[in-house]
Amino acid sequence: MKGVSKRLVLLRTTWSRSCSHVAFHHNVASETSSLLNHCYNRDLPKAMQTLDTMEKRGVWADAIAYSELIKCCLAHRAVREGKRVHQHIFSNGYQPKTFLINVLLNMYVKFNLLEEAHILFDKMPERNVVSWTTMISAYSYAKLNDRAMRLLIFMLRDGVMPNMYTFSSVLRACERLCDLKQVHSSILKVGLESDVFVRSALIDAYSKLGELLEAVGVFREMVTGDAVVWNSIIAAYAQHSDGDEALELYKCMRRAGFTTDQSTLTSVLRACTSLSLLELGRQIHVHVLKFEEDLILNNALLDMYCKCGSLEDAKFIFNRMADKDVISWSTMISGLAQNGFSMEALNLFDSMKVSGPRPNYITILGVLFACSHAGLVNEGWHHFRSMKNLYGIDPGREHYGCMLDLLGRAGKLDEMVALIREMNCEPDVVTWRTLLDACRAHRNVDLATYAAKEIIKLDRQDTGAYVLLSNIYANSKMWDDVAEVRRTMNARGIRKEPGCSWIEVNNQIHAFVVGDKSHPQIDNINRKLNQYINRLTEAGYVPDKNFVLQDLEEEQSECSLRHHSEKLAIVFGIISFPREKTIRIWKNLKICGDCHIFAKLIAKLEQRHIVIRDPIRYHHFQDGVCSCGDYW
């Protein structure tokens, strides 16, 4: 009884507010139900017809029916019809309630018509939390972060309380740490930090600003969470190259009984990629098969195989992918180029031009890198000079870097200097380091000295540049200058990072450092290493002690050369694996000249395939040659 009278009162208020026609009384129920019927059947033309009839007769349906109609427009992506509904709702002095205007707002946002949405928003007689949140979310989604933040401030001034929806939207728009901290403290003040949406948005926001400790703090306070919160923190670690922690959290997530999905696996693959864990990556691949058509996940898998040096697997994945976007193509092109298969990379770029998506900034980087690797100076210049015209991409710092690399490799030092002068941005440490590497390879002491000094001007802590300068001076017997460089280094507390190499054997990572005797099999490894060196010496191997133009430490005796970490790792790989298994090593510093020769010879002697990944490049050793073409 009570319910019925309440409904009557409600109806009466609707009439008095919206009805200026006597006819309305009679028709509202039947018009509404006919409109609703068409909407439920997703029959947009009929629904619009009904709307026209209603307008001619001056009758209106209720807000629920209009909201269904708008849903129907959205489902059909019918922008014109949507705008027509908007007109209808405001025609003849009808004053829709906030609820209905919010539905319209949402429609414009979903149609990506932010301009229209904002005009409507400005005209609203009153705005509730949903109106504000709809706009804030639209702006943060469109990366118009300033606007989103400003709206939050206006909202608070208007006395409207943000809810968890508002906060999870606005967190995506926090570009400055101070904004984020303020939003975070507001969240704590109103007690919304335990909402899973807010929590994952917080973790993600801190992670994007590089505040990993804050992110993990938010994660640790979690009492009840869901899979997305776990995914957020795993992604945070994976994106900041802390693969170990990402994998550890992945284990915890599974132990806690959460279902892992595409997002989890993508981050886990990224962790495998950064740690070069090919075997674990293969195991994850098995789980990936459940989500075969997921593009992002497949791209991550593709990248994992490229970066772990298994191009066979990468090509298999790439060819099997039904959908390939610009990232898939770029990943494959760069992967081939980085692993030394330049011609294949360039051929793939040709087929991309024919049947693939439009190349982007990063694609061109891979192409230039391939040219550099293959020593194709003219082809490199061609791509570099035509990228603007063909693809509308202005060459950026990285493209100049690739071109410098290409010229350096080809020994064109003068052209390098000219290109540095031509650059549209200031040379940075990387620029000068590229020049320095070229000078080292082509033995140009004067230019090397100049480049090293430029590096030190920009980065007082650059170890390599100091050591190199000191070696150059020593070679020219300029002892005062040597002493000066050493004094500066000591004064600035500069030390060389010890070289370290890692290899995965039986799902375990083994680390090797020069002079470190902690590995359980170190004696065996050293014995074996000495045997190899002796056998190779008989075959004509001479340790490369020329360190004048290498940034190595001064105690460059044959003894320490002998025990460089990558040599230990190679020997350990040989004794651990059968002949047909590829030995994969990754290390923190660039490989030295002597280890490079050693690896080439041992690959031939033992008929092995050895892959060494340093911070920038890959070396595939096979049959006495290296894929890098002896330039790195």
Partner DNA sequence: ATAGGGTTAG
Q: Is 339 among the residues that bind DNA (CB under 7 A)?
A: no
In the complex, the smallest distance separating the C-beta of residue 455 from DNA, rounded to whole angstroms, is 14
Number of residues that bind DNA (CB under 7 A): 75
CB-wise, 163 or 347, nearer to DNA?
163
Q: Is 272 among the residues that bind DNA (CB under 7 A)?
A: no
Q: Which of 291, 391, 450, 632 binds DNA (CB under 7 A)?
A: 291
CB-wise, 107 or 529, nearer to DNA?
107
In the complex, the smallest distance separating the C-beta of residue 192 from DNA, rounded to whole angstroms, is 8
Q: How far apart are the first and last CA of the chain?
A: 86
Binding to DNA (CB under 7 A): which residues in 450-509?
none
Q: Taking a C-beta distance cutoff of 8 angstroms, is the pair 380, 410 a contact?
A: no
Task: Measure CA 496 to chain center.
Answer: 30
Binding to DNA (CB under 7 A): which residues in 600-619?
616
Backbone phi, then psi, for 51, in 5-degree steps?
Answer: -60, -45
Q: Taking a C-beta distance cutoff of 8 angstroms, is the pair 629, 618 a contact?
A: no
Alpha helices in 58-97 (DSSP H): 63-75, 79-90
In the complex, the smallest distance separating the C-beta of residue 573 from DNA, rounded to whole angstroms, is 24
Q: Is 326 among the residues that bind DNA (CB under 7 A)?
A: yes
Q: Is 325 among the residues that bind DNA (CB under 7 A)?
A: yes
In the complex, the smallest distance separating the C-beta of residue 284 from DNA, rounded to whole angstroms, is 12
In the complex, the smallest distance separating the C-beta of residue 131 from DNA, rounded to whole angstroms, is 7
Q: Which of 59, 65, 73, 198 binds DNA (CB under 7 A)?
A: 198
Q: Is 263 among the residues that bind DNA (CB under 7 A)?
A: yes
In the complex, the smallest distance separating the C-beta of residue 298 from DNA, rounded to whole angstroms, is 8
Q: Which of 18, 200, 431, 470 binds DNA (CB under 7 A)?
A: 200
Q: Is 549 among the residues that bind DNA (CB under 7 A)?
A: no
What DSSP assignment string belongs to 312-332? HHHHHHHHH-S---HHHHHHH
What type of residue is 364? I
Which tokens sit at 401?
A: 């870097």
CB-wise, 238 or 569, nearer to DNA?
238
What DSSP assignment string belongs to 115-152? HHHHHHHHH-S---HHHHHHHHHHHHHTT-HHHHHHHH
Q: Is 145 among the residues that bind DNA (CB under 7 A)?
A: no
Express the helix, strand and coil content of the chain in percent, nearest 5 each: 70, 5, 30
In the complex, the smallest distance separating the C-beta of residue 361 from DNA, rounded to whole angstroms, is 6
Task: Spell out the residues 6+ positions from residue 107 whose beta carbon is closer than 8 angstroms to its own.
Answer: 70, 73, 74, 82, 86
User: What is the distance between the alpha carbons of residues 162 and 151, in angstroms, rounded to a whole number?
Assistant: 11
Stretch of residues binding DNA (CB under 7 A), selected from 53-61, 157-165, 484-492, 574-582? 157-165
CB-wise, 29 or 161, nearer to DNA?
161
Binding to DNA (CB under 7 A): which residues in 26-85?
67
Q: What is the H or E stretch that residue 503 is in? A: strand 500-505
Binding to DNA (CB under 7 A): which residues in 293-322?
294-297, 299-300, 303, 307
In the complex, the smallest distance separating the C-beta of residue 226 from DNA, rounded to whole angstroms, is 5
Q: Is 199 among the residues that bind DNA (CB under 7 A)?
A: yes
Three-state secondary-structure class, residue 612:
strand
User: What is the distance between the alpha carbons of residues 459 and 457, in angstroms, rounded to a whole number?
Assistant: 6
- From the list 252, 550, 210, the residue with the least C-alpha distance to 229 is 252
Q: Taking a C-beta distance cutoff of 8 angstroms, is the pair 412, 377 a contact?
A: yes
Q: Which of 184, 270, 567, 613 binds DNA (CB under 7 A)?
A: 270
In the complex, the smallest distance separating the C-beta of residue 299 from DNA, rounded to whole angstroms, is 3
In the complex, the smallest distance separating the C-beta of residue 363 from DNA, rounded to whole angstroms, is 6
User: What is the distance between the alpha carbons of residues 542 and 512, in angstroms, rounded to a whole number?
Assistant: 23
- From the list 102, 584, 100, 493, the residue with the least C-alpha distance to 307 is 584
Torsion of CA 214, 219, 223, 227, to 10 degrees: 160
Q: Is 393 among the residues that bind DNA (CB under 7 A)?
A: no
Q: Which of 175, 226, 459, 481 binds DNA (CB under 7 A)?
A: 226
Q: Are strands 583-587 and 610-613 parallel, antiparallel or unpaired?
A: parallel
Stretch of residues binding DNA (CB under 7 A), selected from 7-15, 328-336, 417-425, 595-603? 328-336
Stretch of residues binding DNA (CB under 7 A), selected from 10-18, 200-208, 496-504, 536-544? 200-208
In the complex, the smallest distance separating the C-beta of residue 61 from DNA, rounded to whole angstroms, is 15
Distances (CA, A) of 240 to 106, 236, 243: 35, 6, 8
Q: Is 242 among the residues that bind DNA (CB under 7 A)?
A: no
- From the list 487, 418, 406, the residue with the least C-alpha distance to 447 is 418
Task: Spell out the residues 6+ positions from residue 399 whose beta carbon is closer than 8 angstroms to its own.
Answer: 364, 365, 368, 384, 387
CB-wise, 94 or 577, nearer to DNA?
94
In the complex, the smallest distance separating the C-beta of residue 78 from DNA, rounded to whole angstroms, is 17
Q: Is 372 among the residues that bind DNA (CB under 7 A)?
A: no
Binding to DNA (CB under 7 A): which residues in 398-417?
398, 401
Q: Is 196 among the residues that bind DNA (CB under 7 A)?
A: yes
Q: Is 420 among the residues that bind DNA (CB under 7 A)?
A: no
Binding to DNA (CB under 7 A): which residues in 85-144?
98-99, 102-103, 106, 128-131, 133-134, 137, 141
Query: ∠ CA(328), CA(137), CA(270), 5° rounding?
Result: 30
Sheet with 500-505, side-by-side order of all strands: 508-513, 500-505, 583-587, 610-613, 618-622, 625-626
Q: Is 423 among the residues that bind DNA (CB under 7 A)?
A: no
In the complex, the smallest distance separating the C-beta of residue 163 from DNA, rounded to whole angstroms, is 6
Q: Which of 48, 61, 120, 201 binds DNA (CB under 7 A)?
A: 201
